[in-house]
């Protein structure tokens, strides 16, 4: 993988990886942290299995919905999730593939080394994602995720 098409965020979260993984795979939990405030995630439909689809809607403070469709490629409970927006559901190709997301949850003595790698189809896609605020937005979400798993 060419580094010029990848963005990455990593955090040490003070919670067992089972909780961090659950926050990614339980729709009721995901809706509580997935969008960087003041955005929300009012819709999360997750079929967490290889080939299963995900549909998450992020809603902006202006009320505009940003739908996100994808398919899970790999699911290793409490360790790894891989998904892509190259497909919308049931292996139906999307109009414009943008990224593949690789999440890892590594145990570090009861804490979790959480890493999100976002691999883009093109350098231009990676640059666009960076300009959209990848680092700030994903950082806010990681903070929200950490706060949630501290409570559950």
Coil, strand or helix: which one is 52?
Answer: coil
Q: pLDDT band for position 3 (50/70/90)? A: confident
Per-residue pLDDT, 76: 98
In this model, does residue 43 exceed pLDDT 80?
A: yes
Of 139, 146, 149, the closest CA to residue 37 belongs to 139
What are the E-state strand segments in 14-88?
40-46, 53-59, 65-76, 80-84
Q: Give mean pLDDT, residues 12-18.
A: 98
The C-alpha angle with vertex 40 and arms to 121 and 83, in degrees rounded to 5, equals 30
Of 87, 97, 93, the closest CA to residue 51 belongs to 87
User: What are the extents of the domains in the chain?
Assistant: 3-151
Q: Give mean pLDDT, residues 9-14.
A: 97
Whether the Cβ atoms of residue 7 and residue 13 lie closer than 8 Å to each other? no
Q: For residues 74 and 82, give the distance between their C-alpha atoms in angstroms, rounded to a whole number.
A: 5
Superfamily of domain 3-151: START domain (3.30.530.20)
Give the single-character DSSP code of 86: S
Q: What is the per-residue pLDDT across 91-148, written as a single tens digit (0 to 9) for each?
A: 899 999 999 999 999 999 999 999 999 999 999 999 999 999 999 999 999 999 999 9
Per-residue pLDDT, 1: 52
Predicted TM-score of the model (pTM): 0.95
Per-residue pLDDT, 4: 94
Of 7, 36, 2, the closest CA to residue 128 belongs to 7
């Amino acid at each position: 993988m060419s580094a010029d098409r990848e963005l990455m965020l990593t955090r040490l979260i003070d919670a067992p990886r089972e909780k961090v993984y659950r926050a990614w795979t339980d729709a009721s939990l995901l809706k509580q942290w997935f969008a960087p405030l003041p955005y929300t995630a009012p819709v999360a439909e997750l079929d967490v299995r290889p080939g299963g689809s995900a549909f998450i809607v992020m809603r902006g403070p202006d009320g505009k919905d940003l739908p996100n469709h994808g398919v899970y490629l790999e699911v290793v409970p409490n360790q790894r999730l891989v998904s892509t927006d190259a497909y919308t559901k049931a292996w139906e190709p999307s109009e414009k593939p943008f990224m593949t997301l690789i999440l890892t949850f590594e145990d570090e003595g009861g804490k979790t080394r959480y890493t999100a790698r976002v691999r883009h189809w093109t350098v231009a896609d990676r640059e666009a994602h960076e300009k959209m605020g990848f680092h700030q937005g994903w950082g806010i979400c990681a903070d929200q995720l950490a706060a949630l798993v501290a409570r559950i």
